[in-house]
């Protein structure tokens, strides 16, 4: 092999060490006619498969291995002689990584692995089989006469960490980031030598001219290694039962049983589809994939867990019959080939959502059931990005925090006014962006392999969690390791806890999976059409509630469409507005008759990924495989823009051949491009809609139980305070935490909601959890003294409980209780600051009063929000106000409204100017939307939570009302009486002319 001298190359997957991408490394080799290359990233194999592909395409012989270091000291480099050697390295790495052990001074004697030690260890070692010494070019003269003729086991160890001096500077900066020190304080041993910049083969030959046998040894070593990975081999577990025929029979049996449960009288067409799906699943070797997913669902159901099967898997009738999904593909005309077909270019997967409280147990079951050594989670790569890159770079250059903040704030401004150091920070921060920083855990990808997982990757163990591979989902797909997406969400936790509360409080069992009943319920659909969906999965945001009201959404198919129409791809392209108009009866014509056939259901608008596939395949004539490639690009999964560009060219060429008008062709492609990264499959939307109906049914018939469940799972679009407001609107009386009624989590007693101790910012978790346990054991607390005897606590902890109202049941005011607390004495217990009661507490204490204003300020401090209406706290109500209920009478007129800020959505116009959509509620508790255009955003700011005076014009669109605001002013609250300040009368601030 020519110029095969490089057996210690690093990509940027030598995290915070290497600076080159795999492609840059391979391009260097091509440029200099290098025919063999070894990738030896530090403690990492993330890039090995990408490296092999790139080398094969460039005609370069690839070798893979790993470099091992301890405390910045090079220990050895391991090179895989074969795939078996690759597995040996991975297994040995995994053993030490999972055990969190240091790397030993010497590795074991491998069978199919070369170990190369640094030249400095030559006197300490007695080389074993497959072990060699690596000498760096600057050390070559150390061979001397003593080693003449004895260099058979000496190879050239020329590291590559950077292409040039600029890259080497970046390497030094990465090392400083890794050590969390300024560049000037970076230890010399932490940095690769300057010779680690790429050296040409000619330079190496000149340096080693007196010892060319070392170069020959190096070339022979690389030639003896191979990494003949077969990318077409299916590495996923091949069978569920251990036998393919048994798998086929079991899947068929389960599918037919499920068919008869799902359909009272399945038609011949449905039976034929089931048969065809089973044939395709068997033909494409997905029997085990379906059965393993079914097994996971079966286990979760045995534990009482709820799940949602979503994504393109919901296109499958077999999945519906197995209970993997609750989406009926027949009802929505979902075609199976969108999920699995012989022309699909990538393996599909099921997305299975579990409650965030249940997901880890499900994953534990998978590790237990399918053997740890064959199961792992997928990694993802966290990269240096934007502001973080500037901060990291500025720190190692030694900039003070204030200058760093200013630099980050003005990062997009012209750099002429900056000093040379700041310009250097920005220059290197730009180079840093996009480089991998560390491995993280994929949101839910679980791999179950046929062979032990170390045959594909070494494993790491994050601080909390399960072992992860060193490659991401893109590589898993490349090597045919099909992932199972086991995801978590809080929406399912809301549903599960609500069902439990209903069972406990009302002794009623809710058949939560009888979604067909929910879809037909007139009360549920009436709520849906009015957008009364606060807390309900996926349909509670202000934008979604507005869309539902504009569509007058009162059935399942419309909700499915809404779940996809709301996505940014559809919304930003103008297609959402067109969909709303046409749904509400606006006349339109199809640009081409063929589009009328394909897109009749969605009024000629591409709403789902399937619509794009239809247009590409049936309208333009691209193959299903090519159409699927575009679909993947829309999901952000395409492998490079060049491939996408080729499909784009083919689309335009095919459309011209068919004689379609250019304006139609261009407009369709514009819509397709707008989907990029922001599109749903119809099955995915349908899955979301099923869960939305489950939530909405509970919200309709058991609103307080549902809201308590949402509060207890800290999930949803809004903060806890807003859900408490919603509970009040549904008729609840909300109480602060009470030692005689509250538990650690929030509790519902008939129509009374007692907030849990978990919401108190500075109350210890231990005390908060113990209160209900003690009360259950020995009965309610009599008074403060009784509580202090039974649960010894510090003065600070008791003060928190008194101030929040936890002892209001005693009938004593908070000031009186705090006075009583002063009589408690500190003891000398080993437990610091524990209070002991005096022998007796005077029966008569000062009669001190509290006020609602003091209570409100205590609540704001301890809970983060008041339990009284914020409008009660205002110093004064401004004149000439209307409320949201009055909007219909003031369309296109200027009005003034008081509103409590709920949330803000920041966005930009096509001219890159800031714009805001804000949501408020008025003194009646009615929510309304406010649109703030760029001039208003520039002039008046929304400065956090509070009550605002909003001025603007009332707009109406499709029966919904909003306020186009030109002015907002934050209203002052009454002063805090706890500070001893008088409550001043409110007067409006002077307006700027």
| Contact by Cβ (8 Å): 488, 354 | yes
| Contact by Cβ (8 Å): 137, 195 | yes
What contacts 883, CB < 8 A, 6 or more positions away? Answer: 897, 922, 923, 924, 926
Contacts made by residues 251-256, CB under 8 angstroms, sequence distance 24+: 251/278, 251/281, 251/282, 251/287, 251/290, 251/291, 251/318, 252/278, 254/291, 254/294, 254/321, 254/322, 255/318, 255/321, 255/322, 256/321
| Contact by Cβ (8 Å): 343, 623 | yes
Classified as helix, coil or strand, 443 is: strand
- How many angstroms from the chain centroid is the CA of residue 145? 61
Side-chain half-sphere exposure of 312, counting CA atoms within 13 A: 21
| Contact by Cβ (8 Å): 130, 110 | yes
Residue 839 has pLDDT above 60, yes or no: no
Neighbours of 345 (CB within 10 A): 16
What is the reported pLDDT for 834?
54
Using pLDDT thresholds of 50, 70 and 90, give the confidence band for residue 146: low
What is the reported pLDDT for 350?
84
DSSP state at residue 292 = H
Pairing of strands 894-908, 914-921: antiparallel
DSSP per position, 367-398? HHHT-GGGEEEEEEEEE--HHHHHHHHHHHTT
Q: CA-based diameter of the chain, in Å? A: 103
Neighbours of 727 (CB within 10 A): 25
What is the reported pLDDT for 50?
96
Q: Summarize pLDDT for 335-388 with one digit per residue, the tens.
A: 787 777 776 656 677 889 999 889 999 999 999 999 878 999 999 999 998 888
Neighbours of 146 (CB within 10 A): 7
For the chain, the residue count is 993
The average pLDDT across 811-823 equals 88
CA dist 728 and 731 (Å) reads: 5
Crossing angle of helices 287-302 and 268-283, rounded to 10°: 110
DSSP state at residue 954 = E
From first CA to last CA, the distance across the chain in angstroms is 80
What is the reported pLDDT for 347?
64
pTM of the model: 0.84
Neighbours of 899 (CB within 10 A): 27
| Contact by Cβ (8 Å): 317, 271 | no
Q: Summarize pLDDT for 87-128 with one digit per residue, the tens.
A: 999 999 999 999 999 999 999 999 999 999 999 998 888 899
CA dist 755 and 769 (Å) reads: 13
| Contact by Cβ (8 Å): 40, 10 | yes
What contacts 771, CB < 8 A, 6 or more positions away? Answer: 739, 742, 743, 744, 757, 791
Using pLDDT thresholds of 50, 70 and 90, give the confidence band for residue 606: confident
What is the reported pLDDT for 634?
62
* Residue showing tokens 């999972």: 98
Q: Out of 390-394, 877-881, 893-897, give the one with best mean pLDDT.
A: 893-897
pLDDT-wise least confident of 40-54, 786-800, 817-831: 817-831
The average pLDDT across 417-435 equals 88
Closest CA to 851 of 866, 833, 840: 866
CA 42 → CA 12, 72, 160, 445, 823, distances in Å? 10, 11, 12, 25, 64
């Amino acid at each position: 092999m020519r110029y095969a001298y490089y057996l210690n190359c690093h990509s940027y997957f030598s995290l915070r060490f290497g600076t080159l991408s795999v492609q840059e490394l391979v391009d260097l080799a091509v440029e200099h006619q290098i025919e063999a290359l070894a990738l030896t990233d530090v403690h990492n194999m993330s890039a090995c498969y990408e490296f092999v592909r790139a080398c094969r395409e460039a005609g370069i012989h690839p070798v893979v291995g790993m470099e091992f270091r301890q405390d910045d000291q090079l220990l050895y480099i391991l090179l895989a002689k074969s795939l078996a050697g690759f597995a040996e390295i991975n297994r040995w790495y995994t053993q030490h990584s999972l055990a969190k052990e240091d790397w030993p001074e010497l590795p074991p004697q491998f069978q199919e692995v070369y170990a190369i030690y640094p030249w400095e260890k030559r006197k300490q070692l007695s080389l074993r089989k497959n072990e060699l010494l690596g000498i760096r070019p600057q050390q070559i003269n150390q061979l001397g006469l003593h080693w003449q003729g004895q260099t058979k086991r000496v190879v050239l160890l020329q590291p590559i960490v950077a292409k040039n001096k600029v890259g080497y500077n970046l390497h030094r900066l990465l090392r400083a980031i890794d050590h969390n020190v300024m560049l000037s304080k970076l230890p010399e041993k932490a940095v690769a030598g300057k010779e680690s910049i790429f050296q040409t083969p000619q330079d190496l030959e000149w340096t080693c001219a007196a010892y060319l046998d070392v170069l020959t040894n190096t070339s022979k070593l690389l030639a003896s290694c191979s990494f003949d990975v077969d990318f077409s081999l299916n590495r996923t577990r091949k069978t569920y039962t251990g036998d393919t025929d048994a798998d086929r029979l079991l899947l068929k049996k389960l599918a037919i049983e499920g068919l008869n449960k799902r359909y009272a009288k399945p038609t011949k067409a449905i039976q034929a589809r089931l048969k065809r799906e089973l044939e395709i699943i068997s033909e494409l070797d997905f029997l085990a994939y379906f059965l393993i997913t079914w097994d996971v669902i079966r286990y979760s159901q045995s534990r009482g867990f709820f799940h949602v099967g979503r994504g393109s898997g919901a296109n499958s009738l077999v999945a519906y019959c197995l209970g993997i999904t609750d989406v009926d593909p027949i009802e929505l005309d979902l075609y199976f080939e969108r999920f699995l077909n012989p022309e699909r270019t990538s393996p599909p997967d099921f997305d299975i959502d579990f409650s965030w409280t249940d997901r880890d147990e499900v994953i534990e079951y998978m590790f237990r059931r399918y053997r740890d050594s064959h199961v792992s989670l997928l990694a993802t790569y966290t990269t240096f990005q934007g502001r973080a890159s500037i901060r990291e770079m500025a720190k190692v250059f030694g900039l003070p925090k204030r200058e760093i903040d200013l630099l980050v704030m003005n990062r997009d401004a012209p750099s002429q006014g900056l000093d040379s150091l700041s310009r250097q920070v920005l220059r290197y921060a730009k180079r840093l962006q996009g480089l991998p920083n560390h491995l993280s855990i994929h949101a839910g990808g679980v791999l179950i392999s046929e062979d032990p997982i170390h045959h594909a990757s070494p494993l790491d163990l994050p601080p909390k969690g399960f072992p992860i591979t060193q490659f991401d989902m893109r590589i898993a797909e490349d090597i045919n390791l099909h992932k199972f997406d086991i995801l978590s969400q809080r929406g399912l936790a809301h549903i599960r806890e609500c069902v439990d509360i209903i069972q406990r409080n009302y002794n009623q069992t809710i058949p939560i999976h009888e979604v067909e009943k929910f879809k037909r319920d007139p009360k549920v659909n009436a709520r849906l059409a009015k957008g009364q969906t606060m807390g309900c999965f996926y349909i509670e945001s202000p934008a979604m509630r507005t869309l539902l009201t504009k569509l007058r959404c009162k059935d399942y198919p419309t909700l499915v469409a809404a779940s996809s129409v709301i996505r940014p791809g559809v919304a930003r392209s103008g297609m959402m507005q067109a969909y709303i108009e046409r749904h509400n009866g606006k006349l339109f014509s199809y640009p081409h008759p063929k589009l009328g056939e394909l897109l009749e259901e969605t009024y000629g608008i591409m709403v789902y990924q399937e619509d794009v596939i239809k247009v590409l395949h049936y309208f333009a004539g691209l193959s299903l495989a090519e159409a699927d490639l575009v679909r993947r690009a829309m999901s952000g999964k395409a492998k490079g823009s060049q491939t996408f560009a080729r499909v784009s060219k083919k689309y335009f060429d095919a459309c011209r051949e068919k004689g379609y008008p250019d304006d139609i062709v261009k407009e369709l492609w514009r819509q397709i491009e707008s989907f990029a990264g922001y599109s749903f499959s119809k099955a995915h939307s349908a899955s979301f809609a099923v869960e939305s109906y489950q939530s909405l049914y509970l919200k309709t018939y058991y609103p307080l139980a549902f809201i308590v469940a949402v509060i207890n799972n800290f999930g949803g679009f809004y903060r806890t305070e807003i859900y408490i407001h919603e509970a009040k609107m549904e008729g609840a009386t909300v109480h602060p935490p009470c030692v005689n009624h509250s538990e650690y989590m929030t509790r519902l007693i008939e129509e009374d909601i007692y907030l849990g101790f978990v919401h108190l910012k500075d109350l210890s978790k231990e005390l908060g959890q113990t209160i209900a346990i003690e009360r259950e054991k020995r009965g309610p607390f009599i008074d403060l003294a009784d509580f202090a005897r039974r649960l010894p606590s510090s003065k600070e902890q008791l003060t928190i409980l008194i101030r929040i109202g936890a002892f209001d049941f005693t009938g004593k005011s908070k000031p009186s209780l705090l006075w009583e607390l002063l009589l408690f004495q500190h003891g000398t217990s080993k437990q610091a600051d524990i209070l002991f009661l005096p022998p007796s507490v005077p029966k008569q204490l000062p009669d001190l009063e509290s006020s609602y204003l003091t209570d409100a300020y205590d609540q704001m401090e301890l809970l983060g929000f008041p339990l009284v209406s914020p409008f009660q706290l205002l110093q004064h109500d401004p004149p000439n106000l209307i409320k949201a209920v009055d909007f219909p009478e003031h369309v296109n007129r200027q009005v003034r409204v008081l509103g409590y800020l709920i949330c803000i959505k920041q966005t930009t116009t096509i001219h890159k100017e800031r714009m805001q959509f804000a949501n408020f509620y008025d003194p009646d508790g009615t929510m309304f939307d406010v649109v703030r255009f760029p001039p208003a955003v520039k002039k008046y700011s929304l400065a956090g939570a509070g009550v605002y005076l909003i001025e603007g014009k009332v707009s109406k669109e499709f029966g919904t009302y909003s306020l186009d605001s030109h002015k907002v002013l934050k209203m002052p609250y009454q002063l805090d009486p706890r500070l001893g300040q008088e409550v001043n009368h409110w007067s409006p601030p002077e307006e700027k002319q």
